[in-house]
Amino acid sequence: MKNDDYSGTPIIKNPWPEWTPLEAGAFARRWKFEFERPPQEELISADGLDDAELQIALTRGDSRAELIATTTTKGNAWSDAIFFTAFYRLFERLEARFGRLRTIQGQARDQWRPFRNP
């Protein structure tokens, strides 16, 4: 099989949340993250999770192991730099702070980039 032949590679669809338009041209997405262990209450803060492209707000989800992240951007929400890359970096920052993710949007962690095996 040649390197550019993807016919045997399974397609994995990720349930990306829709962008919601906000005032002044900003957009928001609401994410549900489940962690292998409940995040410690004193660590549940968005401090240090923002980057140049995304602003983050966190709340506890339906279970102690879930966090809801509302992310907003004033940048081009459909650019690859924001649509994908900024969120992949966010996933990594969340794991660095709260521990290993179990699911993202209800789908197993390993089904999402940057965690998927090539």
pLDDT tens by residue, 73-84: 999 999 999 999
Q: Which fold has domain 20-99?
A: Ribosomal Protein S8; Chain: A, domain 1 (3.30.1370)
Q: What is the pLDDT of residue 4?
A: 64
Share of the chain above pLDDT 90, in %: 80
Task: Confirm if 77 and 27 have CB atoms less than 8 A apart.
Answer: yes
Question: Tokens 């140049």 sit at which residue?
Answer: 52
Torsion of CA 27, 72, 77, 97, to 10 degrees: -160
Enumerate the domain spans of the chain: 20-99
Q: What is the pLDDT of residue 1?
A: 46
